[in-house]
Amino acid sequence: MKYPKITIITISYNSALTIRKTIESIINQSYKNKEYIIIDGNSSDGTQNIVNEYKEQIDIFISEKDKGISDAFNKGITYATGDLIVCINSNDYLLPNSLNEVAKQYEEQIDLFCGNLLLWDPNTNYRCVIQPSLNFPKMPFLCKPNHQGLFVKKSLYERIGGYDINLHWAMDLDFLMRATRNKAQFKHINTNIAVFRLGGITDDSVFKKKKEYIYIIRKNGGNIFQAYIFYCFMAVTQTIKKTLKELGIGLDIIRAVFITHDHADHIKAVGHLGEKFGIPVYSTPEVHAGINKSYCMTEKLSTCVHYLHKGETMELEDFTITAFEVPHDGTDNVGYCMNIDGKIFSFLTDLGHITPTAAEYICKANYLVLEANYDEEMLKMGPYPQYLKERIAGPNGHMSNRETADFLAENINESLKYIWLCHLSKDNNHPELAYKTVELSLRNKGIIVGKDVQVIALKRNTPSDVYEFE
């Protein structure tokens, strides 16, 4: 068996606070057939002094201005003499014996070896394992492993080129897509290889990366539709992660995701949450079938699939959860009723009208999330084509502010404490308008919002607050 020479490249710029741990994680690897290169962007914060402390254990150290991360990567690759090359940034570090684990699984015919990453947030100490998709690599959506877990044969770089210096954030995606197009051979190493520390330059807003994502997808043969789908997927997943992080909620405490139906705006991030983070995804068999057929699914559901059936109650830790039929034009459509310690939470979105079944679960709720999708006049006078207006206003479309308000006014009971109005249309509604419509209908029945019941109109693109109830 051949034990390959492995070149580790670290790029740095003003990394005095973190680079020592990076260096020591590499020089302390027990694997001997290695080469270590550090490419520094002419740091001014003491980074160079720290590197020089280890100069006897570093094969090449260059410090000079460069044109960004891609340029620094490429510079290191030109100096590399290893069979395999891995790039470990100065914000990250290798786990013990990582190189040994890679070397054990080395095969001459394989061009690229991809290990697991341990994601770490030093501010919260949140950790989780990130694995490549079971379907990796698949263009354009599943070429997503980070370079920290990527060991690339030098010959592959020579064959397809290095990193695109026009890219400042998403150079990994472009490289992997080019590798896939050039029929590179991939192998997954199911071992935690490195720690990806949140807070580096590439851990930046997905919205800043929009042009790069679109450029990369188009450059590698994707159409503009695929490019925007990919961008939307990345935007949704990052928004979820960022919001949970700000709230101090780790993905490791999320026990499950429940899906109402298979329309794109409800499912496009669920593959990432389910397959990447091992979160169970529950829905009916019909909804799951629709999800995996959907054009927008960047990552198909496999290991995370869990089934439930309408009208049947399941238990999940302290919760009992019942799925029930709602009228909408998806493959299958459900609402959810959750009971914990006698408190009942009902969730209904994307329903064209309130059926007796839906009414039953609305009326028993202490806490209710209910659709108020559109204002009737705004929809009528708005820019949508007529067929779409008819679909929205139809019995399997969506609920208007007025329909929601009228039902609540006629059916509200004293046990209902909170109402959240959800799924407000960007073009045909406004949170204040939805709120006022419901508030006025309730007031006409002698029900005072803020005293008898709380009403909150949820904004379309802004995560809600966290609510805790006794």
Residue 286, in any domain of the structure? no
Closest of 119, 248, 233, 95 to residue 173, by C-alpha: 233
Per DSSP, helices labelled H in 421-461 are 431-444
Specify the pLDDT at position 201: 45
Residue 330, in any domain of the structure? no
Within 13 Å, how many C-alpha atoms sit on residue 45's CB side? 10
Domain-terminating residue out of 207, 222, 237: 222
Residue 401, in any domain of the structure? yes
DSSP-derived 3-state class of residue 454: strand
In whole angstroms, give the CA distance from residue 441 to residue 252. Answer: 42
- C-alpha dist (Å) from residue 164 to 65, 71, 74, 114: 17, 8, 9, 20
Domain-terminating residue out of 222, 253, 270: 222
DSSP-derived 3-state class of residue 40: strand
* Tally of domains in the chain: 2
DSSP-derived 3-state class of residue 41: coil
Q: In tens digits, what is the pLDDT along the chain, a chain of 470 residues? A: 678 999 999 999 999 999 999 999 999 999 999 999 999 999 999 999 999 999 999 999 999 999 889 999 999 999 999 999 999 999 899 999 999 999 999 999 999 998 888 877 776 666 667 777 655 555 555 555 567 888 999 999 999 999 999 888 888 888 988 888 888 998 988 889 998 887 644 444 555 677 777 787 788 777 776 666 666 666 666 677 777 777 777 777 788 999 999 998 888 778 777 877 788 999 999 999 988 887 667 677 888 899 999 999 999 988 999 999 999 998 899 999 999 999 999 999 999 999 999 999 999 999 999 999 999 999 999 989 999 999 999 999 999 999 999 999 999 988 999 999 999 998 999 999 999 999 999 999 999 999 999 999 998 777 787 887 76
Specify the pLDDT at position 63: 95
Q: Are the CB atoms for 171 and 161 separated by under 8 Å?
A: no
Token digits for 300? 């198909």
**CATH number assigned to the domain comprising residue 138:** 3.90.550.10
Residue 315, in any domain of the structure? no
Specify the pLDDT at position 389: 94
Specify the pLDDT at position 294: 79
> Taking phi first (over 0 means left), then psi (-120 to 50 degrees means alpha), and beta for anything else, what does residue 202 get?
alpha
Q: Beta-carbon neighbour count of residue 469 at 10 Å? A: 11
Residue 108, in any domain of the structure? yes
Please state whether beta strands 84-87 and 6-12 pair in parallel, antiparallel, or not at all (unpaired).
parallel
Determine which helix (DSSP H) or strand (DSSP E) holds 176, and give its type and residue range: helix 171-181
Residue 134, in any domain of the structure? yes
Return the amino acid letter for 12: S
Alpha-carbon torsion, ordered 108, 112, 118, 120, to 10 deg? 140
Please state whether beta strands 186-197 and 319-325 pair in parallel, antiparallel, or not at all (unpaired).
unpaired
Compute and round to an integer the Cα radius of gyration of the chain: 26
**In a shared domain, residues 63 and 197:** yes
190 burial class (0-12, 13-18, 19+ CB within 10 angstroms)? exposed
Q: Beta-carbon neighbour count of residue 290 at 10 Å? A: 20
DSSP codes of every residue in 26-90: HHT-S--SEEEEEEE----SSHHHHHHHTGGG-SEEEE---SSHHHHHHHHHHH--SSEEEE--T
In whole angstroms, give the CA distance from residue 41 to residue 63. Answer: 6
Domain coverage including residue 430: 342-470
Residue 335, in any domain of the structure? no
Q: Which residue has tokens 């496009």?
A: 268
Domain-terminating residue out of 191, 222, 253: 222
Residue 303, in any domain of the structure? no
